[in-house]
Structure 1
Amino acid sequence: MYKISTYLDQEHRRCDAQYAMAESDVNLGKWDAARKNFGIFIGMFEGHLDKEERVLFPRLDHALGNGYGPSVVMREEHRQMRIMIVQIEAAIARHDYDAYHEQSSNLRALVRQHHLKEERLLHPQADFLLIKQADAIIAAMENLYHVKAA
């Protein structure tokens, strides 16, 4: 019944776990591992944001009858997170522990607030409004990154 929220909320947990691995590497001074694990996180996180922006948000906006719904706020927060991620990636490349933790703290706070909004409001709203399309929406999100062999 809660297919969309379950799918996206699980992605939140996987992204959080990958981010924690990179942060652990930074804390241990393992900069090469931190760069690798943060790069994996970026790929996962960008994929998640892309799924929301390219698949979920347009369908939710259509169901709400406008393009000025909650997706506008979510897209702006995605933009802010992307800026912070670039700054964190640069701090890791410079092996700058202090800059990493300053930006990481800001990102963590924004992500926590963002996830709460999505998990308590947006995703349940999507489950309710898009219930008949849930399987197709999840398939479309999955298909964004699965290239079929010819």
Structure 2
Amino acid sequence: MEFSPCMMAHDGDVQLCQALQQLKDEHGPLNEQKQQLVDLAQQIGGNTDTANWKEALLTLREHVQSFLANLDPHSEREEGVLFPMMAQYIGRTSGPIAVMEYEHDQAKRNIAAFLENTAHLSDTVDGETAKQLAFYVINAYHILTEHFMKEEHVLFPMAEKLLSAEEKEELARRIREM
């Protein structure tokens, strides 16, 4: 039996190859950033003071942009490499890949809506508007939290079982190139 780096990582009962383990490991820092986002958004949502809503939203906006700078490359590795490789076996129009792509799209739409609506804030942003804008971030948080869990417990183990050793090595190579 030939040694493969895919035998090194371990996820419960399923060992993940290097590339799949990398994708899973990327969730840790993303989860930390995502938690900071939702904490800031919930502070806005729970605030009843006549605080400086614009300043609070701009702070949240900076954190969202930083998060997106880390989320986008991760999503590109999944959408551009992993999903097409898996789709050869399980299809793309329904099932797990369709769900994953839909959730990526929904999270991105919420984040884009927040960024678009906070690009040119007036100095007189009211609390109700601020809370509505913060809800986009809270919604994205919930979508991504569930999404990461599905990837870690369903999609990545499924990929480990579906992909051949050669495909796993190609996956690792293509991810490294991105």
Q: Give the TM-score of the pair, scaled to structure 2.
A: 0.67
Structure 2 portions without partners, runs of 5+: 1-6, 8-15, 45-54
Partner residue, 1:18: 33
Partner residue, 1:147: none
Is 1:125 equivalent to 2:158 in the alignment?
A: yes
* Distance change (3 Å), C-alpha of 1:136 and 1:120: same
Query: What SS class does the counterpart of residue 67 from structure 1 fall into?
Result: coil
Partner residue, 1:135: 169
Task: Supply the distance in 2 between the matched residues of 1:92 and 1:48 (Cα, whole angstroms).
Answer: 24
Partner residue, 2:91: 66
> Which stretch has the larger CA shift, 130-139 or 7-16?
130-139
Q: Say if 1:5 and 1:119, in contact at 8 Å, map to a contact too.
A: no
The alignment's C-alpha RMSD in Å is 2.6
Structure 1 portions without partners, runs of 5+: 145-150
Q: Say if 2:37 and 2:137, in contact at 8 Å, map to a contact too.
A: no
Structure holding more helix per residue:
1
Corresponding letter in the other structure for 1:98? K
Question: After the TM superposition, which residues 1-150 of structure 1 pair with which residues of structure 2 at under 5 Å, given as runs?
Answer: 1=7, 2-3=16-17, 4-24=19-39, 27=43, 31-62=57-88, 64=89, 66-68=91-93, 69-93=95-119, 94=121, 97-132=130-165, 133-144=167-178
Aligned residues: 143
Q: Say if 2:24 and 2:152, in contact at 8 Å, map to a contact too.
A: yes
Q: How far 1:66 sits from its partner (Å)?
A: 3.4
Q: Say if 2:86 and 2:163, in contact at 8 Å, map to a contact too.
A: yes
Task: Supply the distance in 1 between the matched residues of 2:131 and 2:101 (Cα, whole angstroms).
Answer: 28
> Which stretch has the larger CA shift, 82-91 or 48-57?
82-91
Corresponding letter in the other structure for 1:140? R
Larger radius of gyration: 2
Corresponding letter in the other structure for 1:52? E
Task: Supply the distance in 2 between the matched residues of 1:56 and 1:129 (Cα, whole angstroms).
Answer: 11
Corresponding letter in the other structure for 2:174? A
Corresponding letter in the other structure for 2:161? F
> Which stretch has the larger CA shift, 44-53 or 92-101?
92-101
Partner residue, 1:148: none
